[in-house]
Amino acid sequence: MALTERGVSYRYDLEQMLAAEKLELHPFLETGNTDIIASLLLRHRRMVSFLPQYVVQKQVRAGRLAVLRVDGPRLQMWSQLVYHKNKWVTPQMQAFLELMRRAVGPESGEA
């Protein structure tokens, strides 16, 4: 198993869920670079990892990687993009906001 470094949010949540079941992870590789992990998954058929969907979605759609469905609690992560509503938004910032809206959908809690 190859995993991201300790302390990365989704790995931490996975470790907490496993600890509640008195289980531990013992990866043979830990790295902060998810692209390295995805590359290793493509090269080694018997390797598994725990990565965000966006990291591997192209390879999964292409049939090069498979998602393993497992029983257990569902882990869901949230992202937030926060900016001051009364401050000037540059064209570059506006383009980034639009890109994020298209990528993750409409905001909830927008003022």
pLDDT for res 111? 43
The per-residue pLDDT for 59 is: 93
Instruction: Give the percent of the chain with pLDDT over 90.
Output: 54
In this prediction, residue 95 carries a pLDDT of 94
pTM: 0.68
- Please report the pLDDT score of residue 105 as a whole number: 67
Which parts of the chain register pLDDT below 70? 105-111
**What is the pLDDT at residue 12?**
92
Distance CA 56, CA 38 (A): 7
Among the listed residues 16, 66, 58, 67, the one whose alpha carbon sits nearest the alpha carbon of residue 35: 58
